[in-house]
Structures are given as structure tokens and as C-alpha cells.
Amino acid sequence: MILNGQVALVTGGSRGIGRAIALALAQAGAYVVINYRGNRPAAELTLEELSDKGGRGELSQFDVSVEKEVDGAVKQIVDGQGKVDILVNNAGVTSDGLLIRMKSEDWDQVIGTNLKGTVLCTKTVCRVMIRQRYGRIINLSSVVGQMGNVGQSLYAASKAGILGFTKSIARELASRAVTVNAVTPGFIETEMTAKLTPQLQEEFLRSIPLGRFGNCEEVAQLVVFLTGPGAGYITGQVIGVNGGLYM
């Protein structure tokens, strides 16, 4: 229970990696606010599982790309819980396809959710953390933001932007005992990888030295460590969970 008494906000916490992070933080003792944008049934299932395992938390519906909604949601959390100790910027979308076929609305959606959403949530929450003189911010980027990938130029741009943002904000907030780090998952077993054809899965597996896809819990355990007392001297870092795909 290394996070006992702490309050965590996990954006996009209803499914996939976000869900695993929410559950892991709760098991470590944190009170977890699970953000979702539209899929309430999935969010409710995550909260139910969290509660069944002895964790505590609540749901918070807002769009991370809309500043007014972010500000209102964080205010409600602080009004109810008194603080925010941990922010995990996990909410993300992708719109895959070749650049020449890109539509402006694809750009707006991907950059708006992945990069702008990370910036807006960090901007609002870090005000609380500065007053507290304590905080842990974890930004979920991607191995694609480090190495690129055909057909994912928008996604790669948004995730690469998160890396630069992480390092800059880590410098800005260090004097207030707020650490900021980025986690870059590789190919993780989620709904997205499940949709890949067997041929594509085999092709990707051949490029991973460990010879397998990762699982959501492996990403979540790294996040728990980075939010705990053992990571107090780690900030501005990019840590990969990719099976050796990118070194």
C-alpha cells in the first residue's frame, strides 16, 4: 500500500492500459478517479472491479481536449478529495492511414486528444500540485513516437510531442517536488493489437527481441513504481516497455 492516502486521476481509465493502471494504483492504496469520455458502461465495469478488489475510487466524465471540462472536473476532484497527488495522462486515440489521405479532422482529433489533452490536464492539475509542493505526473507516449511507423504519422507526431512536453515540464516543476516522466509502451495486448491479422502479428513479433507482445499489467506496474516513493529522484525520463523493440 505504498500509495495509501493519495489521490490519482487516470485519463482514459476505462479500458486497456488505462484500466490496468487504474486497478494497479488502487491496489497500491490510491483513491483513483477514472476518467472517460463516452463509454460509461466500460468505466462502470472498471470501477466495479476496482471496488471488488478492495480499492476506492469514482468516475469522472470529461473530454481531455476541452479546457473548460478539464478545469471543472479537476475542481470537483479537489472539492471532494482535497488534493490530487498523481496524474496519469493516458487518454489517446489513433487515426491510421497514409499522410496523403489525411483529413484535417483526423489531425484535430488525434492531436487534440493525445497531445492537447495531455497539456491541458497537466496545466490544470499542476496548479494543485504546486500548491501542495508534491506531485507525480506520468505521460503515456508510445514506441511509435520514438521510432515512427508507416501509416501512423499523426499518432507518432502526437506521441513524440508528449516526450518533448514531458522533459520541459519536468524542468519547470522540479523545484516544487513534482516529478514528470513518460512511459512508452510497445506492442501491448489490447483491443487494437487483437484486430491485427495473424500475418501482421507474426511480422511484428519477429521484430521484438523478447518474442512476444506485452500486457497491460506490465505497463501498469511501471506506472505504480514511478508514482511511489522509490521514484522520488526520477524526473524528465522516458522509459520504454517494449520488449526490446526500440533501444
pLDDT in tens, 173-229: 999 999 999 999 999 998 767 777 788 788 889 999 999 999 999 999 999 999 999
Beta carbons of 117 and 89 less than 8 angstroms apart: yes
Per-residue pLDDT at 163 = 98
CA distance to 96, 212, 213, per residue, from 206 (Å): 22, 9, 11
Residue 188: per-residue pLDDT: 94
Residue 29 DSSP code: T
Asked whether the whole model's pTM tops 0.85, one would answer: yes
DSSP state of 188: B
What are the residue numbers of the active site? 155
pLDDT, one tens digit per residue, over 42-61 is 999 999 999 999 999 999 99
How many CB atoms neighbour CB 209 within 10 A?
A: 9
